[in-house]
Amino acid sequence: MLETGTKAPDFTLPDQNGNPVSLSDFAGKRVVVYFYPRDNTPGCTRQACAFAQNYEGFRAKDVVVIGISKDSVASHLKFAQKYELPFILLSDPELQAIQAYGVWQEKKLYGKVSMGVVRTTFLIDAQGNIEKVMPKVKPDTNAADILAALEGEA
The set of catalytic residues is 44
Assign 139 to helix, strand or coil. coil
Return d(Cα 17, Cα 90) in angstroms, integer. 9
Q: What share of the chain is helix, strand, coil (3-state, %, to 5)?
A: 30, 30, 40
DSSP labels, 25-74: GGTTSEEEEEE-S-TTSHHHHHHHHHHHHTHHHHHHTTEEEEEEESS-HH
- CA nearest to 91, candidates 110, 64, 72, 106: 72
